[in-house]
Structure 1
Amino acid sequence: MKNYKSIDLFAGIGGIRLGFERAFGENISTNFVSEWDVNAQKTYRANFKDKFDIAGDITHIDENKVPEFDICLAGFPCQAFSLAGARKGFDDDYKGMSRGTLFSDIVRICDKHNPKVIFCENVKGLEIHDKKKTYQIIKKALEQTGRYGYKVFEKVLNSKDFGVPQNRERIYIVAFRNDIAPKEFNFPFPTDSTKTIQHIIESETVSVKYYLSTTYINTLKAHKARHEAKGNGFGYEIRSMDGIAGAIVCGGMGRERNLIIDDRLTDFTPVTHIKGEVNREGIRKMTPREWARLQGFPEDYKLPVADVHLYKQFGNSVTVNVIEEIAKKIKEVLVKVEEQEKSLKSEILLVNQNAMIREVV
């Protein structure tokens, strides 16, 4: 199989790249990475030893200076399209930038380089945002990108069906360049829906710092009661060890909606400043390592930055298991294309040989 060059845009901490590397093995190599968050860059560098620097803000990247590539990986910002957010889409403004229009930078770079495949991931809400107009804009843009244009396939998949106990629905977009595009693209079927929270919990007792204080628990209870009185479903949630987690997100309630009861703690002496005392009910947050497992990251994945950054990074990341299974399907298409190209070359060679023989005769 050929060696495919890939670029990693809006790279985060490399979850999409990791899934493709699992699927393609030695047949894929990354030659360009863009990520603007400094702490995400630190985590990325700790886990991927590239010989080039991580490029920052994608809006400042000259597409002419991006090396040639075959596969574009892009988990472009999802906040603008999230069902949990304001859902402003292409009108969303964040620190002077429109997160929705950052998609246009993917198009700009791919329009220059004509890669074989463009792969994108985003929140499920993208599919229905603005009465489906937003997704149609994205799809049409991809169809008209580059010299050939692209055939676009999309599907919403849930992480809980791929070996991790997390209810996380995301839309996955796979665009093949028209000259190699298959008639149909089959997204993967579920591989493992049996995992529960028990499978990702730390084997040893975790630090007391992850256990909630009595004061904080009372605050969460009061917050939930206020919302329940209004008929809302917001508020903290304690998950069963035999169940699955809700979608982990980068915001504060991402942790509070995935609390668990772990009664292994014996020393309740606080190691950080808290109000009240450490609760005796065993209520705690999941650790960053447990969140890493919820996203399918391997045990040897390094966590070099503070917890507050790690929660944000894993909440913003992708489920590696899902990416890997989709990447395997993409690989199948590319292998078939290679076989067709080899067959065509063989036929051409045979025709030329026969022509030479006739000339000699």
Structure 2
Amino acid sequence: MAPRLSKPRATASGRAKTPLPAATETESRKATKRPASDQGGASKTAKTTLLPAEPGKVKLIAAQPPNTPAEVTLASDCSGLCTEGPAVRVNLPSSVNVKHIYTSEIDSNFRKFISEFVKPQQLENDMENTLHLGRVWFDVDLYAVGSPCQSWSLAGSKSGAADSRGGLMALIPFQIEKHKPRSFISENVKGLPSLFPKEFNWLIQALRDIQLPNGEQCYNVYYKLLDTQHFGIPQHRERVYIIGIRRDVQVKHFEWPVPFKERLTLKQLLGNPAMEWKCNLREKTHDVDGSALSSTARKNLIQFQDFLDKNPAKQDSDFIVDTGGSSATWMEDKCPCLTATRCKGKHCYWWHQGQRFLTPTDFFLLQGVWPGAYKPGDVEELQRFPQRVLGHMIGNAMSVCVVRRLVRCIFQARGIL
């Protein structure tokens, strides 16, 4: 059973001291004492069983005919691209007014994007502001939050709550308890439940323990691991999604979206290859725009060329090569998981058939963001932002192709569609 939620305590630095579960606090303290080879926060003890992915007893209100509202309100923390906006709009008639009433984002460049393209009523620089300043946004239809995932990631530091960014995850139940949105979506990396089951169980139980004013359980809470490539887009991106629907507005059982039988090919998504011939990657020192490649990118392209030389039958296959790591990795017919670190760089993903490196426009498409998703002409306007800013946002974002299906399932369970 999760501990009873209490308001996070403000520290002298202004950051919240969030009352994490005891297991998390213990792991956080131990993490600083472990040798360098064992700095991860992941538990090395007996295996912890995850809580059920479905709520034990789902309470529904009386069935009602579908009722499309005149207005749908949104709120988000760690907002970034605010992908919940286009995901909601595509599911509703154009006559419905979709309005962001609250967002928060600690990165000043991201806030500039939100201010220009999302235009929320309230834009904070920290999700803790609404916890400590007493501000409440009522009757929000959908709240979206994707707290920093680096410390929970299989490819990251694995430091868990010992990293201050990882501790932000524990603010989510407090934010939801305070504002009680009608529904919410939270996303994090696969490593959270697999490496940190105690912390993940605490989060799920804390969300399920939130109460309505009458003392009854507030939310039906569900979670599931989903992969972007199963929703029409060729990117291998596994994320755990947590869905909550307030029990006083849910009229039907929530059903997870059905994976697509097919997906777009890289060529269909990214466009026709620019050239028919394939260059010898051992000789490649510059990009098509004349910019010099880093020694890391060159080394990894040569490694991929070695693979092609040993497997000539694969020469005409389509690959995306991650050239930003210590050694090259590649996937056939799909893109490896986009990351903020890689997307900030200029020469980190090589498209074999296109014979070029991927651009921010490609990253948008690989995250399921279509041209005009925010407003007409936004693709051109977005080019004003440096690649390091756009790439950082895109690499951290929820995949719109997944969120749009989740939103539809949530709205169906609520009787909106």
Q: Does 2:116 match 1:46?
A: yes
Give 1:20-39 correspondences, 5 Å limit: 20-25=88-93, 26=96, 28-39=98-109
Partner of 1:290: 362
Counterparts of 2:262 and 2:159 in 1: how far apart (Å)? 33
Partner of 1:326: 406
Counterparts of 1:335 and 1:309 in 2: how far apart (Å)? 38
Cα 1:27–1:106 change in 2 (3 A) is: farther
The superposition leaves residues 159-182 of structure 1 with CA deviations (integer Å, 9 ceiling, x where unpaired) of: 111121101111111012233456
Unaligned runs of 5+ in 1: 93-97, 226-232, 264-281, 339-361
Partner of 1:11: 79
What amino acid maps onto 1:135 in structure 2? Answer: F
Give 1:1-361 correspondences, 5 Å limit: 1-2=68-69, 3-25=71-93, 26=96, 28-50=98-120, 52-61=121-130, 62=132, 64-68=134-138, 69-92=140-163, 98-130=164-196, 132-147=197-212, 148-181=217-250, 184-191=253-260, 193-202=262-271, 208-209=288-289, 213=293, 215=295, 217-220=297-300, 235-237=327-329, 243-252=333-342, 258-261=349-352, 282=355, 284-300=356-372, 301-302=378-379, 303=382, 304-335=384-415
Cα 1:290–1:253 change in 2 (3 A) is: closer
Counterparts of 2:290 and 2:227 in 1: how far apart (Å)? 28
| Paired-residue identity, % | 24
Counterparts of 2:268 and 2:389 in 1: how far apart (Å)? 24
User: 3-state DSSP class of the match of 2:369?
Assistant: coil
Q: How many residues align?
A: 302
Cα 1:47–1:192 change in 2 (3 A) is: farther
Report the RMSD for the aligned CA atoms in angstroms: 3.1
C-alpha deviation, 1:212, in angstroms: 5.9
Counterparts of 1:107 and 1:63 in 2: how far apart (Å)? 17
What amino acid maps onto 1:22 in structure 2? Answer: V
C-alpha deviation, 1:208, in angstroms: 2.5
What amino acid maps onto 1:111 in structure 2? Answer: E
What amino acid maps onto 2:192 in structure 1? Answer: L
The superposition leaves residues 207-239 of structure 1 with CA deviations (integer Å, 9 ceiling, x where unpaired) of: 8238763855444368999xxxxxxx9622455
What amino acid maps onto 2:391 in structure 1? Answer: Y
Partner of 1:275: none
TM-score, with length taken from structure 1: 0.74
Counterparts of 2:171 and 2:293 in 1: how far apart (Å)? 45
The superposition leaves residues 143-193 of structure 1 with CA deviations (integer Å, 9 ceiling, x where unpaired) of: 122424322101111111112110111111101223345684211011353
Counterparts of 1:47 and 1:236 in 2: how far apart (Å)? 36
Cα 1:195–1:35 change in 2 (3 A) is: same
C-alpha deviation, 1:327, in angstroms: 0.4
What amino acid maps onto 1:140 in structure 2? Answer: Q
C-alpha deviation, 1:330, in angstroms: 0.3
Counterparts of 1:212 and 1:175 in 2: how far apart (Å)? 48
- Please tell me whether the aligned partners of residues 235 and 366 of structure 2 are also in contact (alpha carbons under 8 angstroms): yes
C-alpha deviation, 1:308, in angstroms: 1.4
TM-score, with length taken from structure 2: 0.65
